[in-house]
Chain A
Amino acid sequence: MNVLHYINAFFDNDANWSGYAGIPARLWEHVQYSLEALALATVIGLPIGLVTGHYGRGGNALAFVATAARALPTFGLLVLATMILGFGMLPVMIPLVVLAVPPILVTTYEAMRSVDPAPVDAARGMGMRETDILFRVELPVALALILGGIRSAAIQIVSTATIAAYVGLGGLGRFIIDGLYQHDYEKVVGGATLVAFMALATLGLFWAVARLAVSPGVRRSA
């Protein structure tokens, strides 16, 4: 197998494992970019999704914003942002955040809307305040789906953060872009493998978080 051969060669090469351009350093850079972008996207998308979902208003507006954000080409945004703002972290964060906000926003809204209205009405009847209803009734029930949305965003960020290398930054994309220009397939395939593994690790992490954070009573079978 061609690809497996490249993977082996890449990971067997000791030179790939040390230094500022080694696998651990690039991996750490990739984790940093991804966490930063995910944190920004969550800070933007989650509160808006929670509040609009709670009041059940603005669903169409949200859908419109999400569609518009999805329509923006990630790679194009990166190149454009770099041409306007110069090289740096900000022009990389813009396309990643634009990429990650729609799944968080839409899923949070839909998750809040899909909460059974009966317990919400009961909570209101018992005299709970709106903020309490939001955080103590709706949020725990909707949490599994909300985490699913953040997970989609995280996976997409991890896989897309590779483009940071195109504008001179580090991360695992470095292996792919450098390999491409050096016609070094070993590097390209190795970098791609690392990104795929990191995406899978993210999947596992979210599975664990959902396991811990979601109340067993509302856990979904699916």
Chain B
Amino acid sequence: MSYFDGFFDIPSDLQHSWLGLIGLHLREALLPVLAGLVIALPLGQLCVRLKWLYPPVLWVTTVLYAIPSLAFFVVLIDYTGMTELTVMIPLTVYSLVVLVPAIVDAVRSVPQETLAAATAMGFGPVRRYVQVQLPIAVPAIIAGLRVAVASSISLVSVGTLIGNQGALGNLLHDANIYNRPELAWNSVLTSAALAVVVDALLVGLRTLLTPWMPRARARRPRPEAVPAALEDAVR
């Protein structure tokens, strides 16, 4: 297959091996989602507490989400230069758009009786949040993380347009200038594989974190339809 000759011959101008690019890609894609989660957890809790805060937060994140990643990168160059940070800040913002509604809906969907029972057992607000609300919210939060991670891994590639900050996406640039389509194949296939592997790991994590849930995914979706709320967030 001529297409795949030189599949792993990474041009030296990228200054990384294939594995090096993978590591770079994972760092640029996953750190922002982690940062998004760290911001979204308290923000989501705040939105549950203060109902009036939720609509404006949704609006602001939605407007930011509407900015194309490339334009976002370019505007940031002014402040952060052509660095990884320039790629990671927009990805953090994008992941907030998915994670905040996921967390708010998840925490809200915890039944009142459960909360009352926890209070009656003498749980304070903090302990109730960490030991009751958060574990029940885990499946929805992981569902949000899955969407956020997939889009983050896909978007890192665009960073190649702002001075080779695209990790595996940089292969696309090289594929163009050296006219080597196999490098473009490598970029697409490797990042797709990364997304699938990380997704599988997240599913595994959910299984580990929610030992009380049935293993087979035979459950009927609840009428509240968490996934719908999620896709809603991805606007």
Check A114/B228 contact, CB under 8 A, given A73-B188, A185-B78, A195-B68: yes
**Best-surrounded residue of B63, B70, B153 (most CB of chain A within 10 A):** B70
Nearest-Cβ distance from residue B98 to partner chain A, whole angstroms: 10
Check A72/B228 contact, CB under 8 A, given A177-B70, A199-B66: no
User: What separation, in Å, do the CA atoms of A130 and B100 have in the docked complex?
Assistant: 39
User: What separation, in Å, do the CA atoms of A3 and B185 have in the docked complex?
Assistant: 37
A156 contacts chain B at the CB level, 8 A cutoff? yes
Chain A binding surface, main DSSP class = helix
Of the listed stretches B32-40, B43-51, B130-138, B190-198, chain A binds B190-198
User: What separation, in Å, do the CA atoms of A196 and B69 have in the docked complex?
Assistant: 11
Chain B binding surface, main DSSP class = helix
Report how many residues on chain B are interfacial, defined by Cβ distance under 8 Å.
55
Mark out the residues of chain A between 1 and 19 whose CB falls within 8 Å of any chain B CB in the assembled complex. Answer: 2-3
Q: Is the CB of B225 within 8 A of A114?
A: yes
Nearest-Cβ distance from residue A98 to partner chain B, whole angstroms: 10
B235 contacts chain A at the CB level, 8 A cutoff? yes
Nearest-Cβ distance from residue A173 to partner chain B, whole angstroms: 7
Q: Is the CB of B220 within 8 A of A113?
A: yes
* Contact of B71 (CB < 8 Å), options: A60, A107, A145, A191: A191
* Contact of A84 (CB < 8 Å), options: B71, B169, B181: B181
Give 1 or 0 for each of B39-79: 1 = CB within 8 Å of chain A CB.
Answer: 00000000000000000000000110111111110110010
Which residues of chain A have C-beta atoms less than 8 A from B234's C-beta? 103, 152, 156
Mark out the residues of chain A between 65 and 103 whose CB falls within 8 Å of any chain B CB in the assembled complex. Answer: 67-68, 70-77, 79-80, 83-84, 103
**Interchain residue pairs with CB less than 8 A apart (29):** A71-B150, A71-B193, A73-B153, A73-B157, A75-B160, A76-B154, A76-B191, A79-B176, A103-B231, A103-B234, A110-B228, A114-B223, A116-B223, A148-B228, A156-B234, A158-B66, A159-B65, A159-B68, A159-B69, A162-B70, A176-B74, A177-B161, A185-B74, A185-B78, A188-B75, A192-B68, A192-B71, A192-B75, A196-B66
